[in-house]
Amino acid sequence: MASGAAKSDVRSHRIGDDEISRNFGDLHPPLSRSEALIAADRCYFCYDAPCTTACPTGIDIPGFIQKIRSDNLRGSAQTILIENIMGGMCARVCPTEVLCEEACVRNTHEEKPGEIGQLQRYATDPVFADGTPLFERAPATGKTVAVVGGGPAGLSCAHRLAMLGHDVVVFNRDAKPGGLNEYGIAAYKTIDDFAQREVAWILSIGGIELRNNVALGRDFTLAELRADYDAVFVGIGLGTTHALGLEHESLAGVEDAIHYIAELRQASDLGELPVGRRVVVIGGGMTAIDIAVQSKRLGAEVVDIVYRRGPEQMGASQYERDLAQISGVTIHYWAMPVELGGDGHVSKVRFARTELDGNGRPVATGDEFAIEADAVFKAIGQALEDEWLDGLDVSGGRIVVDDAGRTSLEGVWAGGDCVAGGDDLTVTAVQHGKVAALGIDRFLREA
């Protein structure tokens, strides 16, 4: 039999450039003015606005929609961005179907909510197109804050602190700021370098010094930051990925989904990216859906997602699952990988069908099946790199914080994916950063 390496079919340019650029165009093209006005007119302007309660950042949704109706886009954008400085990105990436739009009263009358995400994009796009400044800094306080991590949590915290008059230094491990907005989110959700345009606008408020390519643990310690700054915010996300724990995991063609996605997001020519003909994705969250859909859109012929539990437990929303299925991805529930096969390069994965045991854990039923694969992506979650967190309490692999984002160390706050109790969404990371900044501000003024 020919070796697995000889049989593997992973290559670039599986489909033509035109098809790739169509596949990676804007997932939801922006609303025109007339579409936006019609969509805005559908809002009931509810007094108790359940949509606002359902938005993790508490945006005054009826308020910004009302301003769209009167063509006051600058005012509308300000209403959004004062609560959520990444309102532009969130308009593109929030799973609105389980947040603001799920709570919309229109659902009960017409089974179709207001298009809150799209209206939010309509109101904020002009700000990022021309760099309109909307916020000013308060008089300087003379206090300095170190923010570790330049993702949504860190940048949200830095912007609010700068607005409040503090001077901020953002220490960011990656070469570019934005965190997973730049390196993780599916390419068709954030086209035209939007992540960097948004960061540039956020930094334009002044008072924020950004240092890329520097990492906590490698270039400095938490103790040094605590000594040099009046307060510290940690928003480092989740830096490592879980392993499957199977033999042969180092076979060529078996890769972490987030590494491939980061490469994809940074590629100047998507056609150059090697992609397998038969791709298997293991996992059930947003990352699993994203790697599967993007593989298909790069030209993979057969893409299978395999998840060890049922659809109700899947981290990816119904909308994301529908997107995968519309894109031609097959989702298999109730199965877990038990063996990776191949000679040098992966060629198949053997799965055990699963069911829940008495403790609610998926266990093998004894029934098995195999799927052929040229590429296998692991999308089973990320973990905190906590070895250099110098005494911060960590529980269940996340930093422990109180409701205000305070950690167990005096003068140190944390937020975003790296803390316990979040839901690993951009909008939640932004809210954590904002809440922590308000707490830090109180702390600095009382000091």
Cβ 88 to ligand SF4 shortest distance, Å: 10
Rounded distance between C-alpha atoms, residue 160 and residue 207, angstroms: 11
Determine which helix (DSSP H) or strand (DSSP E) holds 167, and give its type and residue range: strand 167-171
| Binding range to ligand SF4, per CB under 6 A, among 115-123, 145-153, 235-243, 283-291 | 115-123
Q: Using an 8 Å Cβ cutoff, are 413 and 231 in contact?
A: yes
Residue 135 in contact with residue 437, Cβ under 8 Å? no
Binding-site string for ligand FAD from residue 16 to residue 45, where x marks contact by CB under 6 A and - marks none: ------------------------------
Residue 290 to residue 426: CA distance in whole angstroms = 15
Which one of ligand FAD, ligand SF4, none interacts with residue 296, CB within 5 to 8 A by kind? none
Name residue, tokens 């309509």: 122
* Residue 99 binds which of ligand SF4, ligand FAD, none (CB < 5-8 A, kind-dependent): ligand SF4
Q: CB neighbours of 48 closer than 8 A, spacing ≥ 6?
A: none
Helix (H) or strand (E) holding 373: none
Q: Is 231 in the site for ligand SF4 (CB under 6 A)?
A: no
Under the binding rule (CB under 6 A), the answer on residue 217 touching ligand FAD is: yes
Site string for ligand FAD, 294-323 (x = CB under 6 A): ------------------------------
In the block, residue with structure tokens 């940690």: 234
Least distance (Å) between residue 296 CB and ligand FAD: 15
Sheet architecture: strand order including 412-414: 208-211, 167-171, 144-148, 231-234, 412-414
- Give me the sign of the Cα torsion angle 242, 246, 249, 254: negative
Q: Does 417 bind ligand FAD (CB under 6 A)?
A: yes
User: In the structure, how many helices (H) and strands (E) does the chain have?
Assistant: 17, 19
Contact pattern for ligand SF4 over residues 177 through 196, marking x by CB under 6 A: --------------------
Sequence letter at residue 184 = G
Binders of ligand FAD among 173-192, rule CB under 6 A? Answer: 173-174, 179-180, 184-185, 189
Give the other-Cβ count within 10 Å of 351's Cβ: 24
Nearer to ligand SF4, 91 or 373 (CB): 91
Can you tell me the distance from the alpha carbon of 304 to that of 371, in angstroms, rounded to the nearest whole number?
8
d(CA 397, CA 420): 8
Question: Binding to ligand SF4 by residue 120, rule CB under 6 A?
Answer: yes
Q: Which is nearer to ligand FAD, 67 or 92 (CB)?
A: 92
Site for ligand SF4 (CB under 6 A): which residue of 59, 77, 123, 316? 59
How far apart, in whole angstroms, are the C-alpha atoms of residue 65 and residue 116? 8
Given ligand FAD, ligand SF4, none, residue 185, with its beta carbon under 5 to 8 Å by kind, binds: ligand FAD
Q: SS3 of 33, please? A: helix
Amino acid at site 189: K
40 or 331, CB closer to ligand FAD? 331
Rounded least distance, CB 245 to ligand FAD, Å: 20
Interface residue list for ligand FAD (CB under 6 A) = 93-94, 148-154, 171-174, 179-180, 184-185, 189, 215-217, 235-237, 239, 258, 261, 286-287, 290, 416-418, 424-427, 429
Interface residue list for ligand SF4 (CB under 6 A) = 55, 57, 59, 61, 84, 87, 90-91, 94, 96, 99-100, 116-117, 120, 427
